[in-house]
Amino acid sequence: MSAEERREQVIAVASRLMAERGIGATPTAEVAEEAGISHAYLFRLFPTKQALVTAVVERCNAEIHEAFKTAADRARATGEDVLPAIGMAYGGLLSDPRRLLLQLHAHALSPRDPDVRAAMQASFRRLFALIQRETDATPDEIRRFFAQGMLMNVLAATGIATLDEPFADVLRTGELDGASCFPDDFTASPLDPVAEEAPTP
């Protein structure tokens, strides 16, 4: 397997582990083990843990951007409203909590980590530009869209998203329709290990 392919694989493994356990709390040895390579080789693929973390965060940001872009394209093609479609795309990302938790960890890491901070700033800038370009939403609507996204991250991380209480119901209600932002299959506690196998039979 080429080094480039290995790197991809390592990023995939690392993003799962770091989403579950937190970035700082994920040992590089474990990433190597789950990726099926030696600890030593991991450090040939990524010179430092820092480099791996940056790669993971940037990959996650790219995936979110791509999800938004394809949702926007599809909505334009079928003539639906674009912003709600993007909102649904974010909801779709939630059925795998990986990216969402990673976002949260990246935000918390930003103050101490200039690389991650720059990546997150760039990601917001790109997403903002995408939405501004692809929709006719007002600045206020765009801001609310991002705010709702941040709230959903927090609700998922704290487990409020799966709480059966009135205040939780209110908080997880979507901005656009009256329904919950969270997909119906969003029942996994964040503590539960993320499914090992991709559910693509």
Q: Which does 193 bind (CB under 5 to 8 A by kind): DNA, a copy of itself, none?
A: none
Q: How far apart are CA 90 and CA 181, in angstroms?
A: 9
The Cβ-side half-sphere exposure at 65, using a 13 Å CA radius, reads 17
Nearest-CA neighbor of 196 among 17, 29, 61? 17
In the complex with a copy of itself, which residue's Cβ is closer, 24 or 183?
24
Q: Which residues pair with 173 in a beta bridge?
A: 180
Q: Which does 124 bind (CB under 5 to 8 A by kind): DNA, a copy of itself, none?
A: a copy of itself
In the complex with DNA, which residue's Cβ is closer, 115 or 141?
115
Q: How far apart are CA 189 and CA 23, in angstroms?
A: 19
Cβ atoms within 10 A of the Cβ of 198, count?
7
In the complex with DNA, which residue's Cβ is closer, 22 or 183?
22
What does the binding site for a copy of itself look like in residue numbers (CB under 8 A)? 20-22, 24-25, 101, 104-105, 107-112, 114, 117, 120-121, 124-125, 128-129, 132, 139-140, 142-144, 146-148, 150-151, 153-154, 157-160, 163, 165, 167, 170-171, 173, 175, 190-191
Q: Is 194 left (phi over 0), alpha (psi -120 to 50) or beta?
A: beta
Q: Which does 196 bind (CB under 5 to 8 A by kind): a copy of itself, DNA, none?
A: none
Q: Which does 159 bind (CB under 5 to 8 A by kind): DNA, a copy of itself, none?
A: a copy of itself
Nearest-CA neighbor of 154 among 167, 166, 172? 172
Say if residue 1 is exposed, middle or buried (CB neighbours under 10 Å; 0-12, 13-18, 19+): exposed
What does the binding site for DNA look like in residue numbers (CB under 7 A)? 1-4, 6, 25-29, 36-41, 43-44, 47-50
In the complex with a copy of itself, which residue's Cβ is closer, 9 or 148?
148
In the complex with a copy of itself, which residue's Cβ is closer, 17 or 37?
17
